[in-house]
């Protein structure tokens, strides 16, 4: 709470719509530029809030809905609410919407109709000073506007620059060799399209063969370059360290399908790094890099995997760091959760370009069975009735299951056998020092939550499983060995990345070690050397992005949770390889499928 805040900023702070940071920025910047219009100050605070939630701009219509919702929530009297109010006026009647000009709200800002609202922002001191900008009926902070325009312009320039020539007969022969037969038609089409362009967006759900396509494309581009006598320089990158490490492994894995000659072309000394590392950190700046237009990357081909996690800012920096004739391949699933920071670049590019242009889509999943595929697809397209129909038809123990519960206690009872069974098997293998088998067991099951805290969150479910383990054990007290771990910072020295999972286990000398990585090649470190790790009997869906488990159990929070969105549910379901269980009410499922992540971004209209 900002004690010094007054007027509408204070009111929205009190209702929880604005956080202290939003209010501070709006107040301070308004003071600096002499902005006195309450409505414009509130608009700035809402734009800052929108950016915090992932939008590159403020959609006035979204803002109106948000304020109306907040007003509705705060119209229920809460004991002691008035004591939280910095200006002492949060009575039930007075905490209404900004637009409510009833007698009880003497100092409420009147929200005018949108065209008038936008005109007031356009004519404001904040706009004059270049802080706020209105375009396409969205209100932007100058920085995000500049970045969106730059990304669109760079992409346009690249689209009109000719790609290196392709020897068609050699390409066609290569495609038949690398992707033979009917089953690989989608991959052939994607590579054909990508070979002729400088920029390609390779979009596809889990297991649709994106990595196989990348490996095939690289091998064939290397073959094309042979006649020119210069081997192109290739960079493989991903937004997170974990995704980068996984990209390297999966590209190498995909080589297994290829003829020997193509495997040799690609070689095994491939390195994948984070996009930040590729661009080169600069000690003096958080969002500027060593590589930029004046000092571009030396690479001829840049591949970015898990591109759904690319923020607008990082995309802008990446595009300006590419040589004008370098190829760029953005690979990812546009239906998954977007970046933590502002922007929804991949989804915007796919929506903005539509069926034309640089988007190559892979549709067929080769990873999971029909049932999970059908469920994921129904969620993806937002067909709640179909989702509920598929769930109603599902059999217990089948690939898709719905455990209908309304209360946490019911979930507790329903899930105890499966969660405790998994935790006990993991503990027994960890105690026996069976590192490979323990990692395999870790990949058998994953419990996913939308929230960190609250009754359906990671924290209480971690506690619950630990308590069950203690109760079921001959040794009282919490047990360390067998505890699943989530790495929460990158540590290149240890080869561990934010989002990696592992388990505490015994070593032959009875010391406790952390075991991470793939079952076939465990990475083992003394427990005392581990940096930041959390207990991971349960994980948030956000943290689970980019990983899979054989079976996945998803806890759905109450239907009114704002986190419960279509993208979140789709991401959760597609973590499952063989079976997925949704735990929650029918209303929660419907709410999840129906609610979209509302990110106001303008990139899709610009490309
Ligand atoms: N056209 C195909 N026919 C048969 N199997 C395929 C085909 N495409 C991919 N596969 C297989 O499906 C699995 C997943 O492929 P791949 O890893 O390339 O997909 P992906 O889209 O990159 O997956 P991820 O969700 O991990 O990003 C691999 O075992 C691969 O060999």
Using the mean position of ligand 1's atoms as its centre, give its distance from the Cα of residue 367 in Å: 7
65 has a pLDDT exceeding 90: no
211 annotated binding-site participant: yes
Output the pLDDT for position 287.
Answer: 74
533: Cβ–Cβ under 8 A, 6 or more apart, which residues?
Answer: 485, 486, 487, 488, 502, 514
Strands of 335-412 (E only): list them: 359-362, 400-403
Q: Which of 485, 502, 585, 473 is nearest to 536 (CA)?
A: 485
84 has a pLDDT exceeding 70: no
**120 and 37 Cβ atoms separated by less than 8 Å:** yes
Using the mean position of ligand 1's atoms as its centre, give its distance from the Cα of residue 144 in Å: 35
Output the pLDDT for position 73.
Answer: 65
Output the pLDDT for position 75.
Answer: 62
Using the mean position of ligand 1's atoms as its centre, give its distance from the Cα of residue 177 in Å: 17
Who has greater pLDDT, 304 or 498? 304
502 annotated binding-site participant: no
203, 207, 362, best to mutate for ligand 1 pocket (most atoms within 8 Å of CB): 207
Architecture of domain 370-594: 3-Layer(aba) Sandwich (3.40)
108: confidence class by pLDDT, cuts 50, 70, 90: low
For ligand 1, atom 7, the nearest C-alpha belongs to: 209
Q: What residues are in contact with ligand 1 under a 6 Å CB criterion?
A: 183-184, 187, 204, 206-212, 250, 254, 257, 366-367
The two domains 161-366 and 370-594 share their CATH topology (first three levels equal): yes
β-partners of residue 237 are 273, 304
* Superfamily of domain covering 161-366: P-loop containing nucleotide triphosphate hydrolases (3.40.50.300)
**Burial level of 132, CB count in 10 A (0-12/13-18/19+)?**
buried
107 has a pLDDT exceeding 60: no
Residue 74: CB atoms within 10 A of its CB come to 21
Q: How large is the ipTM?
A: 0.97
Q: Which atom of ligand 1 is nearest to the CA of 306?
A: 27
Q: Parse the chain into domains and list their residue ranges.
A: 1-73+112-141, 161-366, 370-594
- Note the pTM of the prediction, 2 decimals: 0.85
Winning range, highest mean pLDDT, from 63-77, 80-94, 120-134, 536-550: 120-134
Residue 105: CB atoms within 10 A of its CB come to 20
Residue 34 tokens, joined: 């002499």
100 has a pLDDT exceeding 60: no
pLDDT digits (tens, 9 = 90+) for 391-415: 999 988 899 999 999 998 899 989 9
Q: Percent of the chain, pLDDT > 70?
A: 93
pLDDT digits (tens, 9 = 90+) for 316-368: 999 999 999 999 999 999 998 888 788 889 999 999 998 778 999 998 888 77
354 annotated binding-site participant: no
417 annotated binding-site participant: no
Instruction: Give φ, ψ of 467 to 5 degrees.
Output: -65, -45
210, 366, 518, best to mutate for ligand 1 pocket (most atoms within 8 Å of CB): 366
Residue 388 tokens, joined: 């509920």
31: confidence class by pLDDT, cuts 50, 70, 90: very high
pLDDT digits (tens, 9 = 90+) for 167-186: 999 999 999 999 999 899 99
133 has a pLDDT exceeding 60: yes
Distance of CA 569 to the CA centre of its chain: 12
Mean pLDDT of 193-205: 95
pLDDT digits (tens, 9 = 90+) for 509-567: 989 999 998 888 899 999 999 988 999 999 999 988 878 899 999 999 999 998 899 99
Q: What is the DSSP letter of 492?
A: T
Output the pLDDT for position 79.
Answer: 40
What average pLDDT is seen over the chain?
88
Sheet with 521-526: list strands edge to edge.
521-526, 512-518, 501-506, 484-487, 533-535
Mean pLDDT of 18-38: 94
pLDDT digits (tens, 9 = 90+) for 221-265: 999 998 888 889 999 999 987 788 888 888 988 888 889 999 888
363: Cβ–Cβ under 8 A, 6 or more apart, which residues?
Answer: 186, 204, 205, 208
pLDDT digits (tens, 9 = 90+) for 270-282: 788 889 999 998 7
**240 and 277 Cβ atoms separated by less than 8 Å:** no
Output the pLDDT for position 315.
Answer: 97
For ligand 1, atom 16, the nearest C-alpha belongs to: 209
């Amino acid at each position: 709470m900002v004690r010094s805040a007054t007027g509408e900023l204070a009111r929205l702070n009190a209702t929880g719509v604005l956080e202290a940071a939003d209010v501070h920025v709006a107040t301070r910047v308004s003071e600096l530029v002499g902005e006195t219009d309450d409505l414009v100050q509130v608009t700035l605070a809402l734009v800052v809030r929108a950016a915090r939630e992932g939008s590159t701009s403020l959609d006035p219509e979204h803002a109106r809905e948000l304020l109306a919702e907040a007003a509705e929530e705060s119209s229920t009297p809460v004991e002691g609410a008035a004591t939280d109010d910095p200006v002492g006026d949060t009575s039930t009647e007075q905490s209404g919407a900004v637009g409510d000009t009833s007698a009880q709200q003497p100092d409420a800002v009147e929200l005018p109709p949108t065209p008038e609202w936008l005109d007031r922002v356009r004519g404001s001191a904040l706009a004059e000073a270049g802080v706020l900008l209105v375009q396409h009926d969205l209100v932007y902070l100058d920085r995000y506007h500049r970045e969106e325009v730059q990304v669109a312009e760079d992409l346009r320039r690249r689209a009109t620059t000719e790609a290196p020539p392709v020897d068609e007969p050699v390409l066609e022969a290569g495609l038949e060799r690398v992707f033979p037969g009917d089953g690989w038609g989608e991959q052939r089409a994607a590579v054909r399209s990508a070979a002729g362009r400088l920029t390609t967006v390779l979009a596809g759900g889990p297991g649709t063969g994106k990595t196989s396509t990348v490996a095939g494309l690289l091998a064939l581009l290397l073959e094309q370059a042979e006649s020119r006598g210069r081997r192109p320089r290739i960079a493989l990158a991903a937004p997170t360290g974990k995704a980068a490490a996984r990209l390297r492994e999966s590209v190498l894995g995909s080589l297994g399908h290829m003829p020997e000659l193509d495997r040799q072309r690609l070689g095994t000394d491939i390195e994948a790094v984070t996009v930040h590392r590729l661009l080169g950190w600069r000690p003096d700046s958080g969002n500027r890099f060593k590589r930029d237009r004046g000092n571009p990357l030396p690479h001829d081909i840049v591949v970015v995997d898990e591109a759904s996690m690319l923020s607008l800012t990082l995309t802008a920096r990446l595009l300006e760091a590419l040589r004008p004739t370098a190829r760029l391949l953005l690979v990812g699933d546009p239906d998954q959760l977007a970046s933590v920071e502002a922007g929804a670049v991949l989804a915007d590019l796919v929506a903005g370009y539509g069926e034309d242009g640089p988007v190559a889509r892979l549709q067929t999943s080769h990873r999971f069975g029909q049932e999970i595929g059908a469920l994921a697809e129904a969620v993806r397209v937002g067909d709640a009735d179909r989702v509920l129909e598929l769930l109603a038809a599902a059999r217990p123990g089948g690939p898709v299951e719905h455990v209908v519960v309304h209360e946490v206690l019911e979930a507790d009872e329903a899930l105890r056998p499966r969660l405790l069974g998994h935790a006990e098997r993991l503990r027994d293998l960890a105690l026996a020092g069976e590192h490979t088998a323990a990692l395999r067991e870790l990949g058998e099951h994953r419990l996913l939550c939308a929230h960190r805290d609250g009754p359906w969150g990671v924290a209480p479910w971690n506690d619950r499983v630990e308590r069950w383990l203690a109760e079921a054990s001959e040794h009282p007290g919490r047990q360390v060995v067998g505890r699943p771990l989530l790495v929460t910072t990158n540590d290149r020295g240890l080869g561990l990345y934010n989002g990696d999972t592992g388990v505490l286990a015994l070593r032959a000398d009875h010391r406790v070690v952390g075991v991470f990585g793939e079952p076939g090649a465990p990475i083992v470190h003394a427990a005392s050397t581990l940096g930041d790790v959390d207990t991971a009997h349960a994980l948030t869906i956000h943290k689970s992005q980019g990983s899979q488990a054989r079976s996945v159990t998803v806890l759905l929070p109450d239907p009114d949770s704002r986190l419960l969105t279509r993208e979140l549910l789709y991401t959760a379901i597609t973590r499952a390889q063989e079976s997925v269980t949704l735990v929650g009410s029918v209303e929660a499922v419907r709410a999840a499928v129906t609610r979209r992540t509302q990110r106001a971004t303008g990139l899709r209209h610009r490309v």
